Amino acid sequence: MKMFLPLLTVVLMLICGASATFGQSARATTGTHKFVGAQKCKMCHSTEKIGAQYKIWEASKHAMAYKDLASDTAKAVAAKLGICDPQKSPECLKCHETGYGLPASMFETGFDSTAGVQCESCHGAGADYWKMATMKGIHANTIDADSVGLRLPTEAVCLRCHNQESPFYHGFDFKTYSAKIAHPLKEE
Ligand code: HEC
Ligand code: HEC
Ligand code: HEC
Ligand code: HEC
């Protein structure tokens, strides 16, 4: 046992080192649109008049996804997997951060990677659709949402993260889970 413990430490260090290297190549697919961050959406999506989507999101677990990687629960499960720091590990960040693994050039200044699973994780990177005229055009169907990178997410988007690769997978039912995060546009 005395011989075994130091050996175990070496093995753990090797695993931790290895996971950091894998992270460099574990890139998500690159689109052409850049990420702007939830702070940008906040400008217009905070008022009750429009439906306060930002406030609903801010109070949701998605907004806490990065911060929660520092919790004791997160650290305990990470340790079992040989991961040293969940907030630095690609194995956790790929689902707990927005646009994780993409090159820095895909993020506009002001993007905050500690804000967790942000609007753009589900709706698509926003640099080419966030302006008022574009948003109105999409809503009026004079601008094709797809062409500027905006989507109304379907179940497939959720399943990228809500799957058995997550150490805390509790199953996923699109209807119930969508209802829990509902933030519709308010009709005028
Ligand atoms: C400059 C203001 C503004 C900003 C910034 C903005 N939006 Fe909007 N957005 C609007 C308005 C206004 C509407 C409703 C359009 C209407 O009623 O004509 C809208 C509608 C939407 C819709 C529904 C589109 C549809 O099909 O009807 C989504 C989804 C959306 N916004 C997401 C976002 C996200 C995500 C961000 C941040 C990346 C964002 N918006 C930033 C003003 C904005
Ligand atoms: C495949 C995507 C994915 C990966 C990889 C992933 N997570 Fe998660 N994590 C999720 C999802 C989705 C949830 C919410 C599950 C639910 O509530 O149904 C979650 C929830 C959590 C929670 C909250 C648990 C609770 O019940 O309060 C913690 C803590 C957490 N994850 C830590 C980690 C750590 C640490 C890692 C890396 C070892 C990790 N996750 C890797 C997707 C992922
Ligand atoms: C976890 C995924 C997810 C996140 C994060 C998210 N949304 Fe959504 N959003 C959805 C889904 C799902 C719908 C419903 C789509 C539908 O009705 O087909 C939706 C609907 C909307 C709508 C209403 C569209 C309509 O036509 O009624 C707006 C506006 C919107 N989101 C804006 C935002 C903004 C702004 C943020 C960030 C503050 C955000 N969303 C974060 C998944 C998400
Ligand atoms: C980029 C990854 C990602 C995507 C995409 C995503 N989620 Fe999540 N979701 C998470 C993580 C991570 C958590 C847990 C955050 C935490 O607790 O720290 C979570 C938590 C949740 C929770 C809270 C569960 C609880 O225990 O209360 C709901 C509800 C949810 N997601 C619904 C959805 C729906 C619906 C979609 C698709 C429209 C979606 N999510 C898309 C990563 C994601």
Q: Does residue 65 line the site of ligand 3, with CB under 6 A? A: no
Query: Which of 183, 185, 186 for mutating ligand 3's site (highest number of atoms within 8 Å of CB)?
Result: 183
- Residues 143-171: pLDDT tens digits? 999 999 999 999 999 999 999 999 999 99
At residue 20, the pLDDT reads: 39
At residue 188, the pLDDT reads: 64
At residue 186, the pLDDT reads: 94
Query: Which of 80, 96, 176 for mutating ligand 2's site (highest number of atoms within 8 Å of CB)?
Result: 96
- CA 151 → CA 6, 19, 35, 71, 129, distances in Å? 51, 32, 14, 32, 10
| Spatial separation of the C-alpha atoms in residues 145 and 124, rounded to whole Å | 10
| Close Cβ partners of 116 (under 8 Å, ≥ 6 residues apart) | 62, 63, 64, 65, 66, 67, 68, 96, 97, 98
| Spatial separation of the C-alpha atoms in residues 162 and 166, rounded to whole Å | 7
Centre a 10 Å sphere on the Cβ of residue 71 and count the other Cβ atoms it contains: 12
Q: Does residue 126 line the site of ligand 1, with CB under 6 A? A: yes
Distance 28 CA to ligand 4 centre (A): 18
Which atom of ligand 4 approaches the CA of 69 most closely? 18
Task: Report which of 143, 110, 150 is spatially closest to residue 126, judged by C-alpha positions.
Answer: 150
Going residue by residue through the chain, which has 188 residues, state the pLDDT in tens, using 9 for 90 and above.
444 544 444 444 444 444 433 333 333 444 799 999 999 999 999 999 999 999 999 999 999 999 999 999 999 999 999 999 999 999 999 999 999 999 999 999 999 999 999 999 999 999 999 999 999 999 999 999 999 999 999 999 999 999 999 999 999 999 999 999 999 999 76
CA atoms within 13 A on the CB side of 160: 18
